[in-house]
Amino acid sequence: MKKFLATICAAALLMSGCGGEEAASDDMSGGMPTRVKAIKVLSTDAPLTLSYSGQVVDRDEVQVQSKVSGNVVEKYVKGGQDVVEGQMLFKIDDRQYESAVLQAKANLAKSMTTLAKERVDLQRDEELLRSNAISEQTLTNQRAAVESQESEVAAQQALLKKAEDDLADTIVYAPMSGRLGIDDVPVGTFSTAGNTALATIGLVDPVYVQFAVSEQEYLRLSREEREAKERGQAQPDFKISLTLADGSSYPYQGQFAEVDRTLANETGTLTVRTVFNNPEGLLVPGMYTRVEITGIKIPNAMLIPERALQQLLGETMVIVAQSDNTSAIRKVTLGEKIGSYYVVKSGLKADDWVIVEGLTNLRDGMPLEVTQVTANDMDFSFNPSDKVFDVEHNATAAK
């Protein structure tokens, strides 16, 4: 109850005074004006910087699996090593596969011998038929026997090819160039064909940096890209850069690569991926970074310093210095924050002067002694405030 009364009193104090303060206000209106500093509303094309918490993810990652089953008997690499496509990684016990090749060769040889015999018999029967020594049916049967044996030879050839392929597949090669994870299996592990993950390989150059944008920000970025294409530009004017966990700037610029097809129901955000060159391997999957998109401009934006803003009962207010040197409270609707400023969507005019100093106990209609100041006088700028990246909380925090 006390908190509620205090809130009501604060509201009344700002708008028209509270209790005994009203008399003081009356005395003040006829006495000394309140000294304040005011700055004119800024109207310009405002440079917008969008900042996000991003995470490095593999551009491509594959699980290495054997095509045949058996125990791993040799390992040619170690976890964390860079490999190239086609490099030998593991060897599976090949004894049973060597035996299968020998058996398949023997079966093929037997089938080919039988085929040769059937062909000789066919030639003999053709000669006998010309002398009417056998019936036409006997010759037909022999021709069928030859065709059947030819099919058997083809089947045995296929079995031999399969056995030879299985033997070759006992050597497991890298399916792509990249870096091995450290979760590779040790020698002696039994590998089930197409099931056991022997190792993982990820592409380290380039890599993706993934982050989430709001629906409005996505529409803004899409519009920038579309307008760039209409101007015949391959890429939009904005730049995508990274700040690493130690506060250093990553030396390469990124480009948009992928956008998720749906908004997240819980957050209303859209996941996007940017691609960055990573020739030194400095960006490691799982690493958190700060992503900044610069070069976007808000045309004809109306801006006021953050210092001019006051919050009251969920509303955002400013106090303007009117032409008759009296104060007037205005409710405003804000847009993006740009350095020391906020974009004002409604509530002010381009020629208004907002008070940035002397706001304490200032109320509506009070006489003022106004000192007009500039952005340089107050150290206001469009540059984002200095920040450090908090790895533990995956967020930015003021120094």
Query: What tens digit of pLDDT does each residue of 89-137 get?
Result: 999 999 999 999 999 999 999 999 999 998 998 888 888 888 888 888 9
- Residue 72: pLDDT above 50? yes
- Residue 355: pLDDT above 90? yes
Nearest by Cα to 75 from 57, 87, 60: 87
Nearest by Cα to 223 from 273, 298, 275, 335: 298
Find the range with the poorest average confidence among 9-13, 172-176, 306-310, 374-378: 9-13
- Dig out the tokens for 203 from the structure: 């592409």
Q: Span 353-372, mean pLDDT? A: 92
The per-residue pLDDT for range 266-277, each reduced to its tens digit, is: 888 999 999 999
- Residue 9: pLDDT above 90? no
**Domain with residues 51-60+204-297, CATH architecture:** Beta Barrel (2.40)
Most confidently predicted of 19-23, 211-215, 296-300: 211-215
20 band by pLDDT with thresholds 50, 70 and 90: very low
Is omega for the bond preceding 206 within 30 degrees of 0, making it cis?
Answer: yes
Top-confidence residue, 213 or 12 = 213
For all residues of the chain together, what is the average pLDDT? 85
- The pLDDT assigned to 384 comes to 64
What letters, b where the CB count within 10 A reaches 16 and e where it falls short, cover 81-97? eebeeeeebbbbbbeeb
- Rounded-to-integer distance, Cα 331 and Cα 321, Å: 14
- The pLDDT assigned to 337 comes to 87
Fold of 94-167: Helix Hairpins (1.10.287)
- Rounded-to-integer distance, Cα 100 and Cα 98, Å: 5
- The pLDDT assigned to 216 comes to 86
Q: Span 73-95, mean pLDDT? A: 93
Query: Domain limits of the chain?
Result: 31-46+300-398, 51-60+204-297, 66-92+170-202, 94-167
Q: Span 198-225, mean pLDDT? A: 89
- Rounded-to-integer distance, Cα 60 and Cα 205, Å: 10
Q: Span 352-356, mean pLDDT? A: 94
- Residue 388: pLDDT above 80? no
Phi and psi based region of residue 261 (left: phi greater than 0; alpha: psi -120 to 50; beta: remaining): alpha
- The pLDDT assigned to 191 comes to 94
Let me know if domain 31-46+300-398 sits in CATH 3.40.228.10. Answer: no
- The pLDDT assigned to 30 comes to 53
Find the range with the poorest average confidence among 14-18, 27-31, 390-394: 390-394
The per-residue pLDDT for range 178-191, each reduced to its tens digit, is: 889 888 899 999 99
Residue with tokens 């089953």, as numbered in its chain: 69
What are the angstrom distances between the C-alpha of 368 and each of 76, 316, 353, 356? Answer: 82, 22, 12, 13
**Domain with residues 66-92+170-202, CATH architecture:** Beta Barrel (2.40)
233 band by pLDDT with thresholds 50, 70 and 90: confident
Residue 377 CB partners (closer than 8 Å, separation 6+)? none
**Vertex 370: Cα angle to 369 and 372 (nearest 5):** 160
- Rounded-to-integer distance, Cα 41 and Cα 332, Å: 13
25 band by pLDDT with thresholds 50, 70 and 90: very low
Does residue 92 contact residue 230 with C-beta atoms inside 8 Å?
no
